[in-house]
Amino acid sequence: MNLSPDKQREMLRQMLTIRRFEERASADYHAGKIYGVVHCYIGEEAVAVGVCSALETGDQIISTHRGHGHCIAKGADLNRMMAELYGRQGGYCKGKGGSMHIADFGIGMLGANGIVAGGISIVTGAGLAAQMDGNERVAVSFFGDGASNAGPFHECLNIAAAWKLPMLYICENNMYAAQTAAAATHAMPDVAGRAAGYGIPGIVVDGNDIFAVYQAAARAVVRARAGEGPTLIECKTYRWRAHTERVGQPDFRTPGEIESWKAKDPITRLSAQLIAQGSMTDADAKAMDDEVQASIAASVAFAEASPFPTPEQALDDMYAA
Amino acid sequence: MREITYAQAGVEAVAEEMRADPRIFYMSTDPIMPLVKEFGEKRVKATPIAEAALTGISIGAAGSGYRPIMDWRQVTFSFVAMDQIVNQAAKIHYMFGGQRTFPILYRANVGGGTRLAAQHCQCPYSMFMNLSGLKMFLPSTPYDLKGLLKTAIRDNNPVISFESNRLLASKGPVPEEDYAIPLGVADIKRKGSDVTVVAIAWLVHEALAAAEELAKSGISVEVVDPRTLVPLDAEAIRASVRKTGRLVIADEAGPTAGFSAEVAAVVTEDPATFAGLKAPVRRVCALNVPIPYSPQLEDHVFPDRKRIIAGIRDVLDGARPARSA
Ligand SMILES: Cc1ncc(C[n+]2csc(CCOP(=O)(O)OP(=O)(O)O)c2C)c(N)n1
Ligand SMILES: [Mg+2]
């Protein structure tokens, strides 16, 4: 794997951006400035960044209810993201979407989705479009372990395999669907094992090892661009925070389990690696964090300066012209 | 003018639009052979039986620059794709702030008369009418079907074409020349002055037969076919009712929260139209049961010209209470 030091530092920066963005989103949610619900991706950053680092502009992804990480990894604008969480006109969806529905079609981010497994078929359609275009673009579906038990996952894997669609199916197995342990709901421990049923490669990777994720994704991208069809990649990872930021939610996970995964923090891991191999210094790491923090603060300022939608705007964008 | 069937009108509309626009492709678990022949298996795809996936795939392909047509065949099969219809297709344009257009045509056959019993005979269009974000129509003639389909395929939103099982083999005049019918415009299928019958699909023909019958006894019936369900041409319906002062609504679906209820509401909530009503509005709908198999049962459950005539006589008498059903 020959990733330039620049690219490796960029991967670190993106993971850090996701972490800091969500720390702020969580705080602002609890401060009452962000409404409804926020699902944090903290702890899983290596999956989104590892996969998206293997993509080109023009490749398309779709996300889940836990979508901030995928947005940032695909290159979304923090200002418009934060403004969307704040429910403002300047948000990606003009304040109509919120955390569960951020999209930026311009950068190939086809949307977070409030329905578990809801995005899998949509992005498979983007893969079909890429195949019909013949432009060697790929499409990537991010989804959880919980979503892998839903019908559209199976329907889409079969179709993508049968039609050799240029797809990556990325299962983010964080071991839980809300409060329910995957161990209690999955017939087989590895979601990747299901690939055998569709005659496609199914790969398990350490989802907290960004280079392992990157490598698996890069191989799957080569296969997809060559017209050989989809790959299912299961990234074993863990979310640090509760399922959502809503107050008073049960969380049956043990403190010991949570702590053991915090010890496998993908960000600490990559930054230690970069420092050890001489790609950056402690001071560089600190400077990077300061810059990221500044960009988050700027996004909050942008959001706060953006007006709320006017009531009449509720009727805008009903139908396309 | 030449005559073709309702089913042929559908194929012609799709074929003409596919010739004109290479971004259109067609998906069905059971593809239409003349389309496969002309356009090949790449553009007319025989799909796995996976309506949920395919309904969603249509959305993703539409958002990526294509203009997919997804043929659910019987509306029955769309129910396995409810998430993709309700949560995704209907909302994706609005929810993401109008970032992309999603030009999709979904086709679905509806209605009874086929002796296929409860799961394959149904008229659930009002379930879809209730969703903000979709457009839909249910034509009664080959001419209307072709013209509306052409508009729908050119529309930049998800549109559902409901097509009547009972009318697939029926023939009607369809010009050779290109034409399109705008969505949201009703058609007066027969002019009259005593009572308005708003009917859709097969019941337009039953209403016309009823009108013919009643004309013999000097009763003049106006038959209004809205053709499009969403957006509904409320003004054309109100204008007719203001003229006649009486309204009967005929629908092959059951009455509860149905198309017929919507028509009754748009008429009665308009002050001028309400003021002109000489009798209570009367609905002639299917009975509120799943459609049974035996012909004796099925034919009893669905409304027909006899019940439309009875309904018209009721509103002309004025005082008689609505029968249950
Ligand atoms: C079809 C559907 N059922 C239930 C829910 C409620 N729900 C939201 S997130 C979630 C858990 C999803 O788990 P998983 O797919 O593993 O993703 P994770 O939250 O772990 O990232 C559930 C049950 C939903 N949004 N959609
Ligand atoms: Mg999970």
Tens digits of per-residue pLDDT, A63-102?
A: 999 999 999 999 999 999 999 999 999 999 999 999 999 9
Tell whether B32 and B134 lie within a shared domain.
yes
Whole-model pTM above 0.90?
yes
CA within 13 Å, CB half, B214: 29
Whether residue B180 is contained in a domain is answered as: no
pLDDT tens for residues A16-51? Answer: 999 999 999 999 999 999 999 999 999 999 999 999
Q: Which residue has the tokens 């369900």?
A: B229
Task: Please name every residue paired with B3 in a beta bridge, in sequence order, or none if there are none.
Answer: B173
Number of domains in chain B: 2
Together in a domain, B166 and B192: no
User: Could you list the residue range(s) of the whole structural domain that residue B166 is in?
Assistant: 3-173
CB atoms inside a 10 Å sphere around CB A240: 17
- Cα distance between residue A158 and residue B124, in whole Å: 30
Last-in-domain residue among B120, B151, B173: B173
| B205 labelled catalytic | no
What is the arithmetic mean of pLDDT over A278-306?
A: 98
8 A C-beta contact, residue B284 and residue B303: yes
Distances (CA, A) of A64 to A97, A110, A303, B36: 13, 10, 23, 36
Q: Are strands B3-5 and B171-173 parallel, antiparallel or unpaired?
A: antiparallel
What's the CATH code of the domain at B306? Answer: 3.40.50.920
Asked if the Cβ–Cβ distance from A159 to B56 is below 8 Å, we say no
Tokens of A308: 């709320």
Same domain for B162 and B209 = no
Is this complex's ipTM strictly greater than 0.85?
A: yes
B115 with B69, same domain: the answer is yes
Q: How far is A207 from chain B (nearest CA, A)?
A: 27
Both B229 and B83 in a single domain?
Answer: no
Beta bridge partners of B197: B223, B248
More confident residue, A292 or B322: A292
CB-based contact B143:B172 (threshold 8 Å): yes
The C-alpha of B266 sits at a distance from chain A's nearest C-alpha, in angstroms, of 20
Q: Which two tokens stand for residue A272?
A: 């230690």
CATH number assigned to the domain comprising residue B167: 3.40.50.970
Nearest by CB to residue B157, choosing from A95, A111, A320, is A320
* Judgement on whether residues B16 and B136 belong to the same structural domain of the protein: yes
CB within 8 Å of chain A, chain B residues 7-36: 25
pLDDT for B325 equals: 44
Task: Tell me, yes or no, whether B182 lies in a domain.
Answer: no
Distance CA B243, CA B197 (A): 12
CA A222 – CA A307 distance, rounded (Å) = 44
From the CB of A41, is ligand 1 less than 6 Å away? no
- Indicate if B60 and B134 belong to the same structural domain: yes
B145 and B277 co-located in one domain: no
Q: Is A118 in the pocket of ligand 1 (CB under 6 A)?
A: no
Tokens of B47: 């799909």
Which pLDDT does position B322 carry in this prediction?
53
Tell me what the pLDDT averaged over chain B comes to: 96
Q: Is A142 in the pocket of ligand 1 (CB under 6 A)?
A: no
Q: Which residues of chain B have pLDDT under 70?
A: 318-325
Closest C-alpha to B277, from B264, B288, B295, B290: B264
Domains and CATH numbers, chain A: 5-307 (3.40.50.970)
From B138, B173, B208, the end of a domain falls on B173
Given a cut of 90, is residue A1 above it in pLDDT?
no
Residue A281 has pLDDT above 60, yes or no: yes
Distances (CA, A) of A193 to A44, A150, A167, A201: 21, 16, 17, 9
Measured distance CA(A207)–CA(A310) in Å, rounded: 43
> Which of B173, B208, B240 is where one domain is finished?
B173
Q: Does residue A258 have a pLDDT over 60? A: yes
Q: Give dist(CA A127, CA A61) in Å, integer.
A: 10
Q: Do residues A49 and A11 lie in contact, with contact meaning Cβ atoms separated by under 8 Å?
A: yes
Whether residue B323 lies inside any domain: the answer is no
Alpha-carbon span A221 to A219, nearest angstrom: 5
Measure A66 CA to ligand 2 centroid, in angstroms: 10
The closest of B135, B65, B146, B58 to B100, measured between CA atoms, is: B65
The answer as to whether B140 is a domain residue is yes
**Quick one: B205 and B143 in the same domain?**
no
CA-based torsion, B308, B313, B314, B315: positive or negative: positive
Whether A111 shows a pLDDT value over 90: the answer reads yes
Task: Name the nearest CA neighbour of A234 among A171, A303, A305, A183.
Answer: A171
**Atom of ligand 1 lying closest to residue B83 CA:** 1
B91 is a domain residue: yes
First to last CA, chain B: 40
Could you tell me if B145 and B10 are in contact, meaning their C-beta atoms sit under 8 angstroms apart?
yes
Same domain, B128 and B212: no
The pairing of beta strand B67-74 with beta strand B221-225: unpaired
Looking at the complex, report in whole angstroms how far the Cα of residue A127 sits from the nearest Cα belonging to chain B. Answer: 8
| Residue with CA closest to ligand 1 atom 11 | A177
Q: Whats the size of chain A, residue-wise?
A: 321
B40 touches chain A (CB under 8 A): no
In terms of domains, do B241 and B203 share one?
yes
Q: Measured from the CA of A148, which atom of ligand 1 is nearest?
A: 15
Amino acid B323: pLDDT: 53
* φ, ψ (nearest 5 deg) of residue A67: -105, -5
Q: Report pLDDT for A2.
A: 81
Greater confidence (A298 vs A1) lies with A298
Asked whether residue B150 is domain-assigned, the answer is yes
Give the model's pLDDT for residue B318: 61
Query: Do B7 and B97 reside in the same domain of the chain?
Result: yes
The closest residue, in CA terms, to atom 22 on ligand 1 is: A178
The pLDDT of residue B320 is: 52
Instruction: Determine whether the interchain pair B52/A152 forms a contact, defined as Cβ–Cβ distance below 8 Å.
Output: yes
Alpha-carbon distances of B230 from B111, B127, B161, B236, B318, rounded to whole Å:
18, 12, 11, 14, 31
Q: Is the dihedral of CA B299, B302, B306, B310 positive or negative?
A: positive
